[in-house]
Amino acid sequence: MSSQNGIEPNSYIIRTFGCQMNVHDSEHIAGVLEEAGYSRAANVGEAEIIIFNTCCVRESAEDKVWGNLSAIQSDDTSRLVAVCGCMAESHGHKIIERSPVVDIVFGLDSLKRLPELIRRSRNGSICDLGDRDRASLDAVPSIQVRRLRAWVPVSYGCDNRCSYCVVPYVRGKERSRSPEAILSEVESLVGRGAVEVTLLGQNVNSYGRDLCPRASFAELLRSVASVPGIRRVKYETSHPRDLTDDILTVMAEMPQVCEHLHLPVQSGSDRVLEAMNRGHDRLFYIDRVRKAREMVKDLVISTDIIVGFPGETEADFSDTLDLVDAVGFDSAFMFIYSRREGTPAAEMADEVPAEVKSERFMRLSRLQDIKTSQSLGRLLGRSVELMVEGSARRGDYVVGRTRGNQVVLLPAGEAHVDSLVVAEVQKVGRHAARGEVREVLQACCPGRLSKG
Ligand code: 5AD
Ligand code: SF4
């Protein structure tokens, strides 16, 4: 029964910003709330509790959240607003000072206590971040949104110190989950119908170095791929320095491991890579790509690139264009450098003027668009296995992903979201291909599932 102002009592909605790890964390937030008797609202207007799971990697991501918060009526006391995720870990109580509509700021470490925080917040706003270096969601319930595919974190936090990046400060030091916990989660997901699992971490390749006894990502990947019933194992994000031949060998030997690497390069200039503290240079990166392509047949490689890092000259930027041209990435996420308070790069001189950054960004995007469509062109006429992930922006299409993570759009009438199909690729656009379904390998019954 809804109340007079249209709000459903004990209902919640989660708005998730940022990376796949946040999307997965939101499954846990839903799990905790549903275990405590809350149910998901159909839309923001009906929700009694609105949770913003935030990102602060770039200023633009934060601005979106501030914009959303300022759109909420401050005199509407019947709603409760909570903020978690990277902005919460980074700004803590300051969020409540800047945006008085916020009732709760919580961290992953305090997620288990969320129902209690909700009760207590009726008497005044609360900030409870717990200990970010300890936070793990191993024993926290979760609601899996899709049946056929699932995300499984292998580690939390990051031990690298890329000079532009705020993640290590907000997500804490790297903590690997035990191989047993990961494998039993994967087995249980597969037991309930999952056929695709994506292993997640800020730097998955350094997995296990903090465990006693030490574990390695290569061994973990082999074990996960060996779980009976699993068809597609993906993982992200890789760090070039930690992408060992052992990992590539597992990719080459285990047909369940998908032929995809997300391998951020960030820049093609050695000077900039050094200032970024990436721990690898241009040649090392190119050599890793060469080795990976040599070992893994049909490998698809995506990357992240930042333009306009402090001190980046036209010559440095040309080195990036040159690398993008030489490597031929199948796709790339490109970002304009965003200054993040508290990171070493924020103290660096020679900030690149905004208009120069935008102009370089446009040039890079134009080059990458050509590379992306060349890569998609290689799919033309081929039969590909696709996981149907969701509706496309154009409502009459759904988004299918190849094993290499390339996007193939399918007519919505031909395939259901959350099914595994084989399609023939018939057309190629700038960012996606289009195809027609030839066979449904695995159809899914709709519904949400609890796990853990
Ligand atoms: N400015 C712009 N992009 C950034 N990234 C991380 N920090 C920043 C920043 N300060 C990008 C990197 C990273 C991706 C997740 O976000 O390319 O790989
Ligand atoms: Fe940030 Fe570098 Fe860690 Fe990635 S590897 S999360 S860019 S510090």
Looking at residue 350, which CATH number applies to its domain?
Answer: 3.80.30.20
Q: Of the candidates 362, 377, 392, which is a domain's last residue? A: 377
Q: Is the peptide bond before 255 cis (omega within 30 degrees of 0)?
A: no
Separation of 405 CA from ligand 1 center, angstroms?
20
Nearest atom within ligand 1 for CA of residue 165: 7
Q: Is the peptide bond before 16 cis (omega within 30 degrees of 0)?
A: no
Ligand nearest to the CA of 239: 2
Task: Based on the fold, state whether residues 400 and 370 are members of the same structural domain.
Answer: no
In a domain, 346, yes or no: yes
Nearest atom within ligand 2 for CA of residue 304: 7
Task: Based on the fold, state whether residues 297 and 434 are members of the same structural domain.
Answer: no
Could you give the strand order of the β-sheet that contains 260-262, starting from the edge strand earlier in sequence? 260-262, 300-307, 331-336
Name the residue with the closest Cα to ligand 2, atom 2. Answer: 162
Tell me what pLDDT residue 144 has.
80
Nearest atom within ligand 2 for CA of residue 166: 1
Task: Based on the fold, state whether residues 364 and 252 are members of the same structural domain.
Answer: yes
Tell me what pLDDT residue 4 has.
55
Task: Based on the fold, state whether residues 252 and 388 are members of the same structural domain.
Answer: no
Count of beta carbons in the 10 Å neighbourhood of residue 226: 12
Q: How far apart are the first and last CA of the chain?
A: 30
Q: Is 239 left (phi over 0), alpha (psi -120 to 50) or beta?
A: beta
Tell me what pLDDT residue 448 has.
44
Please state the pTM of the whole predicted model: 0.94
How far apart CA 116 and CA 108 sit, in angstroms, is 14
Name the residue with the closest Cα to ligand 2, atom 1. Answer: 165
**pLDDT string in tens for the chain (452-residue length):** 455 578 899 999 999 999 999 999 999 999 999 999 999 999 998 999 999 999 999 999 999 999 999 998 777 778 999 999 999 999 999 999 999 999 999 999 999 999 999 999 989 999 999 988 887 888 888 888 788 999 999 999 999 999 999 999 999 999 999 999 999 999 999 999 999 999 999 999 999 999 999 999 999 999 999 999 999 999 999 999 999 999 999 999 999 999 999 999 999 999 999 999 999 999 999 999 999 999 999 999 999 999 999 999 999 999 999 999 999 999 999 999 999 999 999 999 999 999 999 999 999 999 999 999 999 999 999 999 999 999 998 779 999 999 999 999 999 989 999 999 999 999 998 888 999 999 999 987 644 444 44
In a domain, 137, yes or no: no
In a domain, 5, yes or no: no
How far apart CA 113 and CA 115 sit, in angstroms, is 6
Task: Based on the fold, state whether residues 277 and 248 are members of the same structural domain.
Answer: yes
Separation of 159 CA from ligand 1 center, angstroms?
16
Number of domains into which the chain is organized: 3
Separation of 397 CA from ligand 2 center, angstroms?
34
Task: Based on the fold, state whether residues 232 and 312 are members of the same structural domain.
Answer: yes
Nearest atom within ligand 1 for CA of residue 166: 7
Task: Based on the fold, state whether residues 233 and 326 are members of the same structural domain.
Answer: yes
In a domain, 134, yes or no: no
Residues touching ligand 2 (Cβ under 6 Å) are: 158, 160, 162, 165, 167-168, 202-203, 239
Ligand nearest to the CA of 204: 2
Tell me what pLDDT residue 393 has.
86
Q: Of the candidates 319, 350, 377, which is a domain's last residue? A: 377
Nearest alpha carbon to residue 79 among 103, 51, 42, 49: 49
Task: Determine whether the shortest distance from the Cβ of 361 to ligand 1 is under 6 A.
Answer: no
Task: Based on the fold, state whether residues 110 and 182 are members of the same structural domain.
Answer: no
Task: Based on the fold, state whether residues 227 and 358 are members of the same structural domain.
Answer: yes
In a domain, 3, yes or no: no
Q: Which residues of 267-297 are buried (b: 16+ CB within 10 A; e: fewer)?
A: bbbbbbbebbebebebeebbebbeebbeebe
Tell me what pLDDT residue 145 has.
76
Task: Based on the fold, state whether residues 346 and 400 are members of the same structural domain.
Answer: no
In a domain, 135, yes or no: no
The CATH number of the domain holding residue 93 is: 3.40.50.12160
Q: Which domain holds residue 41?
A: 11-128
Task: Based on the fold, state whether residues 306 and 395 are members of the same structural domain.
Answer: no
In a domain, 136, yes or no: no
In a domain, 312, yes or no: yes
Tell me what pLDDT residue 78 has.
83
Nearest alpha carbon to residue 236 among 252, 257, 255: 257
Q: Which residues of 439-449 are buried (b: 16+ CB within 10 A; e: fewer)?
A: eeebebeeeee
Separation of 290 CA from ligand 2 center, angstroms?
23
From 22, 56, 161, 165, the mutation candidate for ligand 1 (largest count of ligand atoms within 8 A of CB) is: 165
Task: Based on the fold, state whether residues 77 and 180 are members of the same structural domain.
Answer: no
